Amino acid sequence: MRKEKRVRFVNAVEATRGCPEKCGFCQYSNIPGGSTFYTRPVEDVIREISMTREKLLYFKDLSMTINPVYAKTLFRGMKGLNKRFICHGNVNVLARDEELVKLAYEAGCVEWTIGFETFSQDTLNQVNKKANKVEEYASAVEKIHKHKMAVVGTFVFGFDEDTPDVFEKTLENIEKLGIDGAIFAVLTPYPGTPLFKKFDEEGRILTRDWSKYNRKDVVFEPKNMSKKELEEGLRWITYEFNSPSKVVYRVSRGFKLGFYPAFAVLAGNLGSMIVGRRKT
């Protein structure tokens, strides 16, 4: 019988597991054992990467910057493997540790995904997002761009501080920073998180249909806007950010970073445009 060959362009790798940050809305660090940070031996990760056929890798780690010393050791070991990769990182480390950023580039990094979440420092403080300081956002983006890598930001809407104008303000700030791609989501109070406990005690949980806890459906009563305003605001910013003219601009700007970062920006933006421009 003829064997079918699977063709993959991207391979997933995991070097670390867990996150000690304990953000109030994060499901990962609030599950049993989720806040314990584990690292694989660097030599094991290097061996696995060396054996992969794929040129492009995706690190599934929640953040590659939780232990900067470990990350730097790994990046030094990856240098010369002729791989390209995408990974996640925290604002505080990426803004302050240019050596790590440079080593990531030399190891083959083409894109960082960063959980900016919001441009409100008060909100970040309330949800215990200690790694984020809004005044460091620009520095993190500038350092990554300086070393020819792209930046994708994730943003969440529906925090208690958020009012209906948060969507326009967020879009303005994203464009001002020159972020290359963005992922937008509704705040989701996952069971077991401090956020769920708070909303449940306040009588603001609207459903316990867990299938709707998907970061797109609104499952709680917002504080400073209506449920409808939150739903429509998410649709609006997703639609506007992914307008053809904005996508073309970001992709053309991405080519200044090099071929592989531009390819990542192109793929991410085209995918977001196709999905984000679908009107529901």
Taking only the tens place, the pLDDT of each residue in 101-140 is: 999 999 999 999 999 999 999 999 999 999 999 999 999 9
The pLDDT, as a whole number, for residue 277 is 67
Q: Considering the domain boundaries, does residue 278 fall inside one?
A: no
Mean per-residue pLDDT over the chain, rounded: 93
Give the range of the structural domain holding residue 71, as residue numbers without chain letter.
Answer: 10-271
The identity of residue 108, as a single letter, is G
The pLDDT, as a whole number, for residue 4 is 42
Average pLDDT of span 200-225: 97
Q: Is the pLDDT of residue 159 over 70?
A: yes
**CA 184 to CA 232: how far, in whole Å?**
13
**CA 97 to CA 112: how far, in whole Å?**
14
Dihedral of alpha carbons 80, 81, 85, 90, sign: negative
The model's confidence at residue 279, banded by pLDDT at 50, 70 and 90, is low
- Selection from 131, 109, 107, 106 nearest residue 121 by Cα: 131
Q: Is the pLDDT of residue 1 over 60?
A: no
- CATH code of the domain containing 54: 3.80.30.20
Q: Considering the domain boundaries, does residue 164 fall inside one?
A: yes
Q: Considering the domain boundaries, does residue 255 fall inside one?
A: yes
Kindly report which listed range (64-73, 93-102, 118-127, 260-269) carries the lowest average pLDDT score: 260-269
Q: Considering the domain boundaries, does residue 4 fall inside one?
A: no
Q: Contact at 8 Å (CB) between 152 and 268?
A: yes
**CA 159 to CA 188: how far, in whole Å?**
10
Average pLDDT of span 226-233: 98
Q: Considering the domain boundaries, does residue 1 fall inside one?
A: no
The pLDDT, as a whole number, for residue 186 is 98
The pLDDT, as a whole number, for residue 138 is 98
The identity of residue 45, as a single letter, is V
- Residue 36's CB: how many other CB atoms inside 10 A? 11
Instruction: Please identify which residue in the block is written with the tokens 């989701």.
Output: 188
Q: Considering the domain boundaries, does residue 56 fall inside one?
A: yes
Domain count of the fold of the chain: 1
Q: Is the pLDDT of residue 149 over 80?
A: yes
The model's confidence at residue 9, banded by pLDDT at 50, 70 and 90, is low
The pLDDT, as a whole number, for residue 2 is 44
Q: Considering the domain boundaries, does residue 244 fall inside one?
A: yes
